[in-house]
A and B are shown apart, each in its own frame.
Chain A
Amino acid sequence: MTPRKLKNGVMGFLVAASAVLLITVLVVIVWHIFISGVKYLNWDFFTKTPTPMGESGGGVFNSIVGTFLITLVAAAIGTPFGMFAGIYVSEHRGQRFADIVRLCADALQGVPSIVIGIFGYTFLVVRFRSYSALSASIALAFMFVPTTTRVTEEVLNLVPSGLKEAAFALGARRSSVAWNVSIKTAAAGITSGLLTSMARIAGETAPLLFTAFGSRYVEWNMLRPMSALPLQIYVNASSPYPALQQQAWSAAFVLVLLILLLQYGAKHLIARVLRVKA
């Protein structure tokens, strides 16, 4: 065997092995959660609130409500900021301030979520003297904005410059080109970015520990402590009661399913964008 062929074989093996490893890890995690979680899923699980410590039965309805509320409010707060920042950065490509905004978004993306949690605790919880779902949403919005900014920018940059030139050549002003051509062409991609960002924050736990805190009751008031699936998993899994631990698996299954669905939706939309481009 020639050295060139040997090198080719070794590299080919490494590449394939890494790919298989990646798939295996995902399958093992999802499969294990599915097996452990699915058997305790029942109607009560989705409709009831937790029973007192040590008693069996009950459900996580309060946490499901909480995850939806906290994630949606965070996305509602973060979407305009993230999108507009992304539009700004894309429209002012190459300019100093746009570069600074991009750099800040990248840096903010790198801030550990526990730090975001402490930040939310110090500036929101302590100041308003109460744990609240709203402070959790705001903390999560800080994680939502930078990803949204970057995705929006990247999708807008994919819009062919020829389309924008065509619009300018027809006499369109810059704002009209940005809105009617760039954003509309990139709309599916931007939406997909929003879904990906939502998937990312839906599973966050650390910021919620310091802000939403958790609650045993179904809570609709954003100004009060609220439970969420990651919190419920954390509390249940670290409890000494097998029934609660089992419930944690089921909650984990529901959470993973939710996130995978969001990501699947995002991918589906990206496929549509690429079709538009071609």
Chain B
Amino acid sequence: MEEPVIVLETQKINAWFGKDQVLFDVSARIPKNRVTAIMGPSGCGKTTFVRTLNGLHLMTPGARSSGTVLLEGTDTSTMDIVDVRKHIGMVFQRPNPFPTMTVYENVLAGYRLTGQRLSREKADQIVEAILNKVGLWTEVQSKLFKAGTSLSGGQQQRLCIARTIAMEPAVVLFDEPTSALDPKSTAIIEELLSDLKADYSIIFVTHGLQQAARISDYVAFFMLGELVEFGETKRVFVGPQDKRTEDYLSGKYG
């Protein structure tokens, strides 16, 4: 088996909310152009881990963190946070298109919010290409200038994926993006992931074991703020090396 290229590496990440430590020395190497699932029981630090990667963790009052995040070899703490977030995009648990913007404007929200101007043709081009990429173009072509919030929940979430990848990030963080969606919309987004990984490296937080097994190439198993096991999904599911992973997979807790 050929060693994958590493796009993102964390070295000894620790994170706190006030006095409560929620992550302990998390070191992980995220492969490029693969889907890496972050799984584990509720409250194990999955979401906090991905939020330390793009600096959102520190925006919570009282939150602290330590450790290093290397994005394609560059220490992100030496980069402007705006650049970090352009390279590491994020899709959230609940679909959250901007209610004051149309579908069209939502796709380009990142450009507008960071003050980048686009020519009309370039903007049209990006909107069509990106909406095609998330499989929304035919569905919303006639609703481009309606409010983004007028779409169905599943469409809204794909619109949020669209606005994230419109910024051409290297890594896209998905924080349980299907937990508020119906099974059909979930299936559409899961299918989408296998297309997206050709262009992006994906980190996907989920608490569903089956979902992790279905969609991921690699899996990181978290418990009580520790990264217990990391490896190829098949290998971890078939032959977990840590007793705690084995117990979790066999449904002893979760």
Contact = CB atoms under 8 A, between A and B. Distances in A.
Partners in one complex: yes
Interface of A: 94, 160, 162-163, 165-173, 176-177, 180-181, 184-185, 187, 276-277
Nearest to A93: B61
B160 A166 contact: yes
Interface string B78-105: 0001110110011010101011100000
Nearest to A181: B98
Contacts of A170: 85-86, 89, 109-110, 113-114, 163-164, 167
B235 interface: no
Contact of A185 (B56, B81, B94, B99): B99
Contacts of A165: 56, 59, 92, 96
Interface residues of B, number: 28
B54 A169 contact: yes
18 contacts: A160-B96, A163-B96, A165-B92, A165-B96, A166-B90, A166-B96, A166-B160, A169-B56, A169-B164, A170-B163, A170-B167, A171-B82, A171-B85, A171-B86, A172-B82, A181-B98, A181-B100, A184-B100
Contact of B113 (A180, A185, A276, A277): A180
Q: Which secondary structure characterizes the binding site on chain A?
A: helix
Contacts of A187: 100
Interface of B: 54, 56, 59, 61, 81-83, 85-86, 89-90, 92, 94, 96, 98-100, 109-110, 112-115, 149, 160, 163-164, 167
Nearest to A94: B61
Contacts of B98: 163, 166-167, 181, 185
B100 A185 contact: yes
Given A171-B167, A176-B115, A185-B98, 12 more contacts: A94-B61, A163-B96, A165-B59, A170-B86, A170-B164, A171-B83, A173-B82, A176-B114, A180-B113, A181-B98, A181-B100, A185-B100
Contacts of B110: 170-172
Contacts of A167: 98, 109, 113
A22 B45 CA distance: 52
A176 B113 contact: yes
A177 B113 contact: yes
Contact of B92 (A166, A173, A180): A166
Contacts, number: 73
Contacts of B96: 160, 162-163, 165-166
B112 A180 contact: yes
A260 to B, nearest CB: 29
Nearest to B115: A176
B51 to A, nearest CB: 9
Nearest to A276: B99
Contact of A169 (B85, B100, B115): B85
The 7 closest A-B pairs by CB, nearest first: A172-B113, A170-B110, A169-B90, A171-B85, A162-B96, A171-B82, A184-B100
Nearest to A95: B61
A79 to B, nearest CB: 21
A185 B97 CA distance: 12
Contacts of A177: 113
B99 A172 contact: no
B92 to A, nearest CB: 6
Contacts of B81: 171
Interface-central residue, A165, A166, A173, A277, by most chain B CB under 10 Å: A166
Contacts of A173: 82, 114
A7 to B, nearest CB: 41
A276 B85 CA distance: 27
A171 to B, nearest CB: 4
B94 A162 contact: yes
Given A163-B98, A163-B99, A185-B100, A171 B112 contact: no
Contacts of B86: 170-171
